[in-house]
């Protein structure tokens, strides 16, 4: 084209560009999903696997799931260990 020796892209270059585009969008989607999961879990730390057992017990008592006797018994059991 225009006498510069331009031969155009071959089929191999189009395949490489298609693969690169798929990889790019996969990285973008993975990043967005990871960000949403991270931000979603950062606001609710009380229900995660690393929660404080006494805090969970206090929450259950305050919601009325357990009565005072169960609360005190469970609390003493937790503190013994």
pTM: predicted TM-score of the whole model, two decimal places: 0.43
Count of domains forming the chain: 2
Rounded CA-CA distance 74/77 in Å is 5
Task: State how far the alpha carbon of 54 is from the alpha carbons of 7, 44, 68, in Å.
Answer: 72, 16, 14
Sign, CA dihedral 66-67-70-73, equals: positive
- Residue 34 domain boundaries: 1-43
Question: What pLDDT score does 50 carry?
Answer: 54
User: Do 33 and 67 share a domain, yes or no?
Assistant: no
Q: Half-sphere exposure (CA, 13 Å, Cβ side) for 65?
A: 9
User: Do 54 and 79 share a domain, yes or no?
Assistant: yes
pLDDT band at 14 (very low <50, low <70, confident <90, very high): confident
User: Do 34 and 53 share a domain, yes or no?
Assistant: no
User: Do 77 and 39 share a domain, yes or no?
Assistant: no
User: Do 26 and 58 share a domain, yes or no?
Assistant: no
pLDDT digits (tens, 9 = 90+) for 57-78: 999 999 999 999 999 999 999 8
pLDDT digits (tens, 9 = 90+) for 19-50: 999 999 999 999 999 999 888 765 555 555 55
In 10 A of CB 78, how many CB atoms? 13
């Amino acid at each position: 084209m225009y006498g510069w020796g331009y031969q155009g892209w071959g089929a191999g270059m189009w395949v490489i560009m298609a693969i690169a585009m798929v990889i790019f969008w996969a990285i973008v989607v993975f990043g967005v999903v990871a960000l949403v999961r991270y931000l979603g879990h950062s606001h609710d730390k009380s229900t995660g696997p690393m929660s404080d057992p006494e805090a969970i017990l206090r929450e259950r008592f305050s919601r009325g799931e357990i009565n005072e006797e169960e609360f005190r018994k469970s609390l003493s059991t937790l503190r013994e260990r």
